[in-house]
Amino acid sequence: MDKIHVRDIGLSCIIGVNEEERSEKQDVVINVTLHGDLGAACKSDDFADTVDYKAVEQSIVALVEDSEFYLIEALAEAIAQACLGFDRVEQVDVLVEKPGALRFARTVGVEITRFGNKIPETPVV
């Protein structure tokens, strides 16, 4: 499968399990890799044949900035499901990082991979 990367989306949201973490928005950094067949777009050079990654980013921004999750795992899942709702996205890798979550680490992150509901084609023998 072909890939489109959207990297380092810096946003703020309510995230965390402690009361002090939930009182103000915190920074998160999101990376997504959208997997799908981009062969038609490669041949046609037509926007209608590819994934609208601007719309994907706008969807992620709207989702995250209005969210209030306890776990970055749950936030990553919500982002993955939103991405899979776009045409031609068959698989998505989502990395959500929470800078400063640990005192001696630059960041903590959770990465998940999710697949769309499309049934893989069985090769003809």
Catalytic, 98? Answer yes
- Choice among 3, 43, 54, 98 that is catalytic: 98
- Report the C-alpha gap between 55 and 12 in whole angstroms: 19
Whether the Cβ atoms of residue 86 and residue 32 lie closer than 8 Å to each other: no
Inter-residue long-range contacts of 49-58, CB under 8 Å, 24+ positions, other chains counted: 50/4, 50/88, 51/4, 51/86, 51/87, 51/88, 51/89, 52/86, 53/4, 53/6, 55/86, 56/6, 56/32, 56/82, 56/83, 56/86, 56/89, 57/6, 57/9
Catalytic residues: 98
